[in-house]
């Protein structure tokens, strides 16, 4: 296996998936194209002819995010027609899977360098739109009815972890909003956002330059007043969950020798990855066994991980992982700039957002050697990728 590296990543601002959001009149494939073009513009030493794959994920592969979007977006971005592309669906872990797929191809020598990412326009394609779940799932009791509604799976996860109260999830959600607001104030989020031209039939042209989801006015009192739509007197609310969002991400993955040859930065080194299946009705537990498996493959323990980028589909899902591994709810190593509760979760795009932020943390914290990105995945799965910091100073404080 060759050394595999994460070179760089970008994303669009994440918009709210509704008619008055950022992108109701913007195509999903155009969001991807903007990310691909921005990546290549940031790295003029990378000839697009050297690319050997474009892997783009979408959970709902239809309409403006269908038509083998890795290939179609590549053509629209002006990448040479000789560069192939394909589409991926692993629900929320689509972009994560795009990265690990091309990383595997690089590791065995099939290719040297690739683009990977994901997109989800939930305003155009709500989760499950156009799908036809086989009636055998429920008729033959293969899964609980809860398994097909992600909010219900979060309530079931609360049942499995009775110590994770609504008060804890609300406190975690508030912290996510506060950390994100500080990151924006410090100017560390904006560098990786690709401005997107927007159009509205009534308001005319605009420019999306910031995430639309964050609520800087969030308070514990306000969170406590929110209703629990998935269960009467439940614990899961709009405030302690990610929103419904539109957005895209993309990154460059390469063999380290190729990155060095082309004078590309080495932001992270790939160490190990694992995907696992769990009970669909409690899909939020998935990152726990995925992390255990990825750590075992790497010969590491949870104590070796100095930074965590965990997708906040629901606060309870993150807290379940932290509780399992004995990590405090407010551990500063976890999502230092906030997470999806604050900035949004356009399903298949989020994996690369996690990776890009971890890469930025690595550069700022050379005393940290290993970090990980992890997420739960619909229909009962979890995914984890462990990365090594190339800036590690050997000071393991």
User: How far is Cα 105 from Cα 359, in angstroms, rounded to an integer?
Assistant: 21
Per annotation, catalytic residue among 35, 124, 158, 376: 376
User: How far is Cα 343 from Cα 245, in angstroms, rounded to an integer?
Assistant: 9
User: How far is Cα 13 from Cα 209, in angstroms, rounded to an integer?
Assistant: 6
User: How far is Cα 80 from Cα 74, in angstroms, rounded to an integer?
Assistant: 8
Residues 6+ apart with CB under 8 A from 271: 298, 300, 370, 386, 387, 388
Active site residue 251: no
User: How far is Cα 361 from Cα 99, in angstroms, rounded to an integer?
Assistant: 19
User: How far is Cα 373 from Cα 99, in angstroms, rounded to an integer?
Assistant: 12
The number of beta carbons lying within 10 Å of the beta carbon of residue 149 is 15
Active site residue 367: no
| Nearest one of 44, 43, 53 to 82, comparing CA atoms | 53
User: How far is Cα 271 from Cα 390, in angstroms, rounded to an integer?
Assistant: 12
Q: Largest Cα–Cα distance in the chain?
A: 59
Both tokens of 17, joined, read 């998936």
The number of beta carbons lying within 10 Å of the beta carbon of residue 43 is 17
Token pair 């007197």 is found at 233
Token pair 């957002």 is found at 353
Identify each DSSP E strand in the chain by its residue range: 4-11, 15-16, 54-57, 85-88, 113-121, 196-200, 204-208, 245-255, 268-277, 305-310, 370-377, 381-388
Active site residue 376: yes
The number of beta carbons lying within 10 Å of the beta carbon of residue 39 is 21
Per annotation, catalytic residue among 121, 125, 158, 345: 345
Per annotation, catalytic residue among 92, 158, 251, 361: 92
Check: CB of residue 25 under 8 Å from CB of residue 200.
Answer: yes
Residues serving a catalytic function are 92, 345, 376
């Amino acid at each position: 296996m060759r050394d595999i590296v994460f070179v760089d990543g970008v994303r669009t601002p994440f918009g709210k998936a509704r008619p008055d959001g950022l992108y109701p009149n913007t195509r999903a494939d155009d969001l991807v194209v903007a990310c691909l073009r921005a990546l290549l513009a940031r790295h003029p030493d990378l000839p697009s002819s050297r690319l050997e794959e474009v892997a783009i994920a979408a959970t709902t592969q239809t309409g403006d995010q269908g038509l083998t979007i890795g290939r179609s977006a590549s053509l629209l971005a002006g990448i040479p027609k000789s560069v192939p592309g394909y589409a991926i669906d692993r629900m929320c872990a689509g972009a994560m899977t795009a990265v690990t797929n091309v990383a595997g191809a690089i590791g065995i020598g099939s290719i040297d360098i690739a683009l990977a990412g994901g997109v989800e326009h939930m305003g155009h394609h709500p989760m499950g739109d156009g799908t036809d779940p086989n009636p055998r799932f429920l008729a033959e009791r293969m899964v609980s009815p809860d398994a097909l509604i992600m909010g219900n799976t979060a309530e079931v996860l609360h049942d499995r972890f009775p110590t994770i109260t609504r008060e804890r999830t609300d406190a975690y959600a508030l912290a996510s909003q506060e950390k994100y607001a500080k990151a924006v104030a410090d100017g560390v989020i904006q560098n990786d956002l690709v401005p997107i031209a927007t159009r509205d039939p009534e308001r005319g042209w605009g420019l999306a330059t910031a995430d639309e989801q964050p609520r800087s006015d969030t308070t514990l009192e306000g969170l406590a007043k929110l209703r629990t739509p998935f269960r009467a007197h439940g614990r899961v609310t709009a405030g302690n969950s990610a929103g419904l969002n539109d957005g895209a991400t993309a990154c460059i993955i390469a063999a380290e020798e190729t990155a060095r040859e082309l004078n590309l930065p080495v932001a992270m080194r790939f160490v190990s990855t694992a995907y696992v299946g769990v009970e669909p009705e409690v899909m939020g537990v998935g990152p726990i066994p995925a992390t255990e498996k990825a750590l075992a493959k790497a010969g590491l323990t949870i104590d070796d991980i100095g930074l965590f980028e965990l997708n906040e589909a629901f606060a309870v899902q993150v807290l379940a992982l932290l509780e399992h591994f004995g990590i405090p709810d407010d551990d500063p190593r976890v999502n230092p700039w906030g997470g999806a509760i604050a900035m949004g979760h356009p399903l298949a795009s989020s994996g690369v957002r996690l990776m890009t932020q971890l890469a930025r943390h690595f550069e700022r914290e050379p005393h940290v050697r290993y970090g990980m990105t992890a997420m739960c995945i619909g229909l009962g799965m979890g995914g984890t990728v462990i990365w090594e910091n190339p800036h590690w100073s050997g000071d393991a404080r």
